[in-house]
Amino acid sequence: MIEPLSYYIDGINNKDRIVLSRAITLIESTVPAHRVVANQLIEYCLKQEKQSKRIGITGSPGVGKSTFINALGAEIIANSQSLAILAIDPSSTITKGSILGDKTRMYEIAYHKDVFIRPTASSNYLGGIAQNTYQTILLCEAFGFDYILIETVGVGQSEIEIKHLTDLFMLLVLPNSGDELQGIKRGVMELADIIIINKADKANEQQAKISVAQLKSVLPLLNYQNKEWNNIVLQTSSIEKIGIDNTLKYIESYFSKVNIESIRKQQLLSWKNNLVIQLIQEKIMSNKNIKTIIDEFLANDAYSYKQIQKINTQLESLINKLDS
Amino acid sequence: MIEPLSYYIDGINNKDRIVLSRAITLIESTVPAHRVVANQLIEYCLKQEKQSKRIGITGSPGVGKSTFINALGAEIIANSQSLAILAIDPSSTITKGSILGDKTRMYEIAYHKDVFIRPTASSNYLGGIAQNTYQTILLCEAFGFDYILIETVGVGQSEIEIKHLTDLFMLLVLPNSGDELQGIKRGVMELADIIIINKADKANEQQAKISVAQLKSVLPLLNYQNKEWNNIVLQTSSIEKIGIDNTLKYIESYFSKVNIESIRKQQLLSWKNNLVIQLIQEKIMSNKNIKTIIDEFLANDAYSYKQIQKINTQLESLINKLDS
């Protein structure tokens, strides 16, 4: 069942959360008729003058992302601001969802009227996470949320995708004896605008101090690319609510210093690039001549150098038709 | 500089590690002339009668993967078996490599004559990690290693790729108060043939027991798909060398029970599928008409619904030429 464009636009303008949820489901759809309305809706959203702070939050499992978001979110709503939380789980491609839900960890904010929480469906194709998330961000922004927090699990490709669609990228790490710094990969550290040592609870104070010192000594070695901001290390205890207000101050300071317009231009370009690659993939992979070549190649369950030569030749002569 | 096929074949047969290293570099190359030799070499490797135990090892940063591999590796070489360790870091696409190397954690085995350690370069295209890793596995197998351990960081897409190219998939987790079980995603747990509670050191004994009990209670809820093996939970202390010999026994038991031939057939098919998608991508994305359409779309740094309609029409009419 598909609603007309006006249904979604009106619902978003009237701050109707049920419509927002349905709009997100719409943009995640790959059905052509849904895509037509979805694309029009995205165009509408991009034209709105509203601007949210788009913040990516990442870190390994167990680092306390949900508890941190609970504490930061409570601080944000205490300042009379609203927020949307988008949770992405790139690992759930086989059976979706985690064993326990995250809402229990966001107990302070999960049912607050100014808070909207939504898991983002992962997707089977390259760049699919970014594709859906970016459009969901645009919907939430048009809806008028002041903050949009995008939580992602794991250390991998998804971080790099999320980096490209947020304004500010935060990495959460644990206070450790230093022995474990090696586990944080350079690639992800270089993306982080703010590194947070979370779980710096009173009991871990000493360890946290050592971690801060260590990370600070590492910062100058990183190839951090933002010229308008110096990447920093902060410490928080999300459970004891230590350092959360300070973190929010740094977030606001970040947004006052960077050129949001140029960041947004980059995000749109990165998304458009993603989109066009996806369109090409979909069309190519559903072409019947391409399918025939693939099927023939896979029907033979052995491997030979000649097979590779053959499929290369077949693909080349087929794709050469594009030049005719 | 490219060597003839015979150079690589002779080197592998003579157990020359320098040649093995160069062969891995060769198969990672995308230069067409290199690919020709690489494909012939892969065909040769697949024809050899040798068979390694291919084991994927994954877990979050800080869970102690390298220390575990050090302990398991020491046990393997104590049994007069040889092993290759391939380390994959999918997060290192921006600047490669971690802050500290992993070899320091593998101090017992890193310089042993029967051990070969090699990081696998990640790659920019979809399935690139799996592509290179699979071919590296084939080279190491032809070289004659008894075990091939493939270490991968993070919780995400790379796990699923690695699952498809190993015979046995192990997930390492930390002993926790149970509070943090939610961090381990169901998708990854369902892939694991053996779940290891690592860092079950004497000091953490109580926590480890609780974790084992918890995970065992979760196992029946998982959609584990291997009919020839029951997924199990074990506990180890890699530092105190507790449970390592037991783990190796379970690994051997696994290999005595499963049908390796059908697993290998599946691996080859999955790799061939990957390979053909990559070949298509490369050829399509380097086509000049496709490039023109993309460039025109990206040159406009706004977004409109009409643009999407236009590029859809352009791509469709171009790709329709494949049917002519």
Q: Does residue B179 surpass a pLDDT of 80?
A: no
Mutation choice for B interface testing from A217, A273, A303, A309 by most B CBs within 10 A: A303
Least confident of A29-33, A255-259, B262-266: A29-33
List Cα–Cα distances, A10 to A19, A33, A48, A146, in angstroms. Answer: 9, 20, 13, 20
Segment B141-152 shows an average pLDDT of 94
Question: CA B292, CA A91: separation in Å to the nearest integer?
Answer: 35
For chain B, positions 3-42, list CB contacts with chain A under 8 A.
Answer: 39-40, 42
Question: In terms of CATH, what superfamily is B49-266?
Answer: P-loop containing nucleotide triphosphate hydrolases (3.40.50.300)
Residue B155 to residue A158, Cβ atoms within 8 A? no
CATH architecture of A49-258: 3-Layer(aba) Sandwich (3.40)
Q: Does residue A277 surpass a pLDDT of 70?
A: yes
Which residues of chain B lie closer than 8 angstroms to A268, CB-CB?
301-303
Tell which CATH classification among 1.20.5, 1.10.357, 1.20.120, 1.10.260 matches the domain B1-47: 1.20.5
Q: Spell out the domain ranges in chain B.
A: 1-47, 49-266, 287-323
> B80 CA to chain A: closest CA distance, Å?
31
Number of helices (H), then strands (E), belonging to chain A: the values are 12, 7
Which residues of chain A lie closer than 8 angstroms to B160, CB-CB?
91, 93-94
For chain A, positions 278-307, list CB contacts with chain B under 8 A.
Answer: 279-281, 283-285, 287-290, 293-294, 297-298, 301-305
pTM: 0.77
Q: Nearest Cβ partner of A279 from B180, B279, B311?
A: B311
List Cα–Cα distances, B198 to A253, B68, B143, in angstroms. Answer: 41, 8, 31
Rg of chain B over all Cα atoms, to the nearest angstrom: 22
Q: Does residue B63 surpass a pLDDT of 70?
A: yes
Question: CA A110, CA A264: separation in Å to the nearest integer?
Answer: 28
Of residues B276 and A188, which shows the higher confidence score? B276
Q: Does residue A287 surpass a pLDDT of 70?
A: yes
Edge-to-edge strands of the sheet including A115-120? Answer: A115-120, A83-88, A147-153, A53-59, A168-173, A194-197, A232-235
Residue B269 to residue A301, Cβ atoms within 8 A? yes
User: Measured between CB atoms, does A98 come within 8 Å of chain B?
Assistant: yes
For A113-134, the pLDDT digits (tens) are 999 998 765 554 555 667 788 9
Segment A238-262 shows an average pLDDT of 96
In this prediction, residue A34 carries a pLDDT of: 93
B147, β-bridge pairs: B53, B83
Question: CA A88, CA A66: separation in Å to the nearest integer?
Answer: 12
Residue A184 to residue B61, Cβ atoms within 8 A? yes
Of residues A19 and B29, which shows the higher confidence score? A19
Identify the closest residue of chain A to B156 by CA–CA distance: A91
Residue B94 to residue A43, Cβ atoms within 8 A? no
Residue B98 to residue A283, Cβ atoms within 8 A? no
Residue A322 to residue B60, Cβ atoms within 8 A? no
Q: Are the beta carbons of B236 and B244 closer than 8 angstroms?
A: yes
Segment A245-254 shows an average pLDDT of 98
The number of C-alpha atoms within 13 Å of A175 and in the hemisphere containing its C-beta is: 20
Which residues of chain A lie closer than 8 angstroms to B280, CB-CB?
284-285, 290, 294, 315
Question: CA A143, CA A145: separation in Å to the nearest integer?
Answer: 6
For chain A, positions 224-263, list CB contacts with chain B under 8 A.
Answer: none
For A26-45, the pLDDT digits (tens) are 998 888 899 999 999 999 99
Least confident of B136-140, B214-218, B232-236: B214-218
Which residues of chain B lie closer than 8 angstroms to A288, CB-CB?
323
> B180 CA to chain A: closest CA distance, Å?
6
pLDDT band at B122 (very low <50, low <70, confident <90, very high): low
Q: Nearest Cβ partner of B153 from A42, A155, A290?
A: A155
In this prediction, residue B229 carries a pLDDT of: 96
Is residue B194 classed as helix, strand or coil in its secondary structure? strand
Segment A164-174 shows an average pLDDT of 91
Identify the closest residue of chain A to B180 by CA–CA distance: A62
Residue A155 to residue B158, Cβ atoms within 8 A? no
Question: CA B186, CA A96: separation in Å to the nearest integer?
Answer: 8
User: Measured between CB atoms, does B159 come within 8 Å of chain A?
Assistant: yes
CB neighbours of residue A284 within 10 Å? 20
Give B87-136 as a DSSP string: EE-TTTTSS-S-SS-SGGGGTTTTT-TTEEEEEEP--SSTTHHHHHHHHH
For chain B, positions 175-204, list CB contacts with chain A under 8 A.
Answer: 176, 180-191
pLDDT band at A158 (very low <50, low <70, confident <90, very high): low
Q: Are the beta carbons of A273 and B13 closer than 8 angstroms?
A: no
Is residue A221 classed as helix, strand or coil in its secondary structure? helix
Question: CA A292, CA B15: separation in Å to the nearest integer?
Answer: 41
Q: Provide the CA A57 distance to its chain's centre, in angstroms.
A: 8
Q: Which residue has the tokens 């030049």?
A: A323
Segment B66-80 shows an average pLDDT of 95
pLDDT band at A184 (very low <50, low <70, confident <90, very high): low
Which residues of chain A lie closer than 8 angstroms to B285, CB-CB?
277, 280
Question: CA A17, CA A114: separation in Å to the nearest integer?
Answer: 11
Question: CA A65, CA A83: separation in Å to the nearest integer?
Answer: 16
Average pLDDT of every residue of chain A: 86
> B228 CA to chain A: closest CA distance, Å?
20
Identity of residue B86: L
Residue B62 to residue A301, Cβ atoms within 8 A? no
CB neighbours of residue A71 within 10 Å? 27
What angle, rounded to 10 degrees, do the helices at A128-143 and A260-285 form?
A: 130
Question: CA A70, CA A57: separation in Å to the nearest integer?
Answer: 12
ipTM tops 0.90: no
A81-99 burial by CB neighbour count: b if 16+ within 10 A, else e? bbbbbbbbbbbbbbeeebe
pLDDT band at A2 (very low <50, low <70, confident <90, very high): confident
Q: Are the beta carbons of A55 and A76 closer than 8 angstroms?
A: no
In this prediction, residue B100 carries a pLDDT of: 39
In this prediction, residue B94 carries a pLDDT of: 36
For B79-119, the pLDDT digits (tens) are 999 999 998 765 444 334 443 346 677 888 888 999 999 87
In this prediction, residue A154 carries a pLDDT of: 56
Mutation choice for A interface testing from B164, B279, B295 by most A CBs within 10 A: B279
Identify the closest residue of chain A to B221 by CA–CA distance: A99
Q: Does residue A183 surpass a pLDDT of 70?
A: no
Which residues of chain B lie closer than 8 angstroms to A42, CB-CB?
303, 305
Question: CA A218, CA A189: separation in Å to the nearest integer?
Answer: 10
Residue ranges with strand state E in chain B: 53-59, 83-88, 115-120, 147-153, 168-173, 194-197, 232-235
Residue B273 to residue A43, Cβ atoms within 8 A? no
